Amino acid sequence: MSDLMPPDVERLLLDATTSRSRVLKNRLASIWMLGALLVAVVPLALVIGYVLFKGIGQISVAWFTEDLPTITRKAGGGMGPAIVGTLLITLVAALMAIPLGILGAIYLHEYGGKGRTARLIRFMADVMTGVPSIVMGLFVYTVWTLTFGLNGFGGSLALGCLMLPIIIRTTEEMLRLVPDELRQASYALGNRKWRTIMTVVLPAAFGGITSGVMIAIARAAGETAPLVFTIGAARNLNLNIFDGPMTALSVQIFGNAQTPFEAAQARAWGAALTLVAIVFAMTILARVVSSRVARRHAA
């Protein structure tokens, strides 16, 4: 029996005669809980609904292939450069953050354990997940953009910084789930520690790591603030991530949302639909991968 049970509840439990008010309170509580769920579902439905409804009209082949229109207030043009920008910048960020994140997690779980350095790194990684994305953007602005100018790579650096702590923490959790007996079996066959990690531990944790990585990528793809300070604005397709400004879907939505022009706002909805589709696809894929891994472990 919990010794923290509120005295009035304790009294109620022992006193059966006031049952009507107890039943009433229970019912109110149930209404509250279910109501809370509905309250959360409503905005989700509204947002997704509007995005779908208002954005679908924009989607066409031209949407994916054409450059942004030169005159903002007019319709026409497409989001090609922004789509490419989002994918390219996020991809480069992932290429930097994934190896670093996985190696860092390997250090934390396979070598560091409970030591002071490991605990410090773990703590700081948690702190880093809470750093607002705008601060990451300002940070990269000060160390990269001021020196090397507006380009896609600055955006990748900022997004990579956002992804890194997430990948480290989720990968560490997955490594923890790999049973120690597998490592022992590998050592007993005359395998070194680093090769054990690469040939036994990582493959065993692969599904979970992939799922965590995809969630980190999905989050990064949707970010706006870090890109605003670092990638500039471009209307045409720029595939060179190191040279010259680029654009991205999130930045386009932000810019177009602030204009009073119908056509621009319509483009914003289209871009929102595209972005949400990309992000949802990755999130759902991540869930599918992780539930398949869970099923395999249960078997």
Partner 1 sequence: MSPELAAPTEEVVAQTTIPEPVAPNVVFDVRDLDVYYGEFRAVRDVNLEVHQHEITAFIGPSGCGKSTVLRCFDRMNDLIESARVDGKILYHGVDLYDPRIDPVEVRKRIGMVFQKPNPFPKSIYDNIAFGPRLSGNKGNLDDVVEHALRRAALWDEVKDRLKKSAMGLSGGQQQRLCIARAIAVEPEVILMDEPCSALDPIATARIEDLMQELKSDYTILIVTHNMQQAARVSDRTAFFTTEVNSESDTRTGVLVEFDSTDKIFSAPSDERTENYVTGRFG
Partner 2 sequence: MTLLTHDSGVAPGNGGDASSLLEPTSGRRGDSIFKIVALAAGLVVLAILALIAFSTTREAWPAFQQEGFGFITSSTWVPADGKFGALAFIYGTVLSSLIALVLAVPVSLGIALYANEAAPRRLRKPVVYVMDLLAAIPSVVYGLWGIIVLAPAIQPVYKAISGAVGDIPILGWFFNGESGRSYMTAGIILAIMITPIITSLSREVIATVPSAQREAAYGMGATRWEMIRAAVLPWSRGGIVGAVMLGLGRAMGETIAVALVIGSQAKITTHLFEAGDSMAAVIVNQFGEASGTHRAALIGLGVVLFGVTIIVNVSARGIVSRFDRRSQGA
Interface ranges with partner 1 (CB under 8 A):
179, 181-182, 184-192, 195, 199-200, 203-204, 296, 299
Q: Is residue 192 involved in binding partner 2 (CB under 8 A)?
A: yes
Of the two residues 76 and 113, which places its CB atom closer to partner 1 in the complex? 113
Q: Residue 209 Cβ, how far from partner 1 at the closest point, in Å? A: 14
Say how many CA atoms lie within 13 Å of 155 toward its Cβ.
35
Q: Residue 253 Cβ, how far from partner 2 at the closest point, in Å? A: 5
Select from partner 1, partner 2, none the partner in contact with residue 224, using the beta carbon and a kind-dependent cut-off of 5 to 8 Å: partner 2
Cβ contacts of residue 19 below 8 Å, gap of 6+? none
Write the burial class of residue 22 (CB in 10 Å: 0-12 exposed, 13-18 middle, 19+ buried).
middle
Instruction: Identify residues 58-97 at the interface with partner 2 (CB under 8 A).
Output: none
Nearest CA to 236 out of 245, 224, 226, 225 is that of 245
Question: What is the contact mask toward partner 2 in residues 248 to 287, using x (rule: CB under 8 A)?
Answer: --x--xx--xx------x--xx--x--xx--xx--x---x
Name the 3-class secondary structure at 214: helix
Of the two residues 103 and 239, which places its CB atom closer to partner 2 in the complex? 103
Name the 3-class secondary structure at 269: helix
Binding-site member from 52, 59, 138, 202 for partner 2 (CB under 8 A): 138
Distance CA 160, CA 166 (A): 10
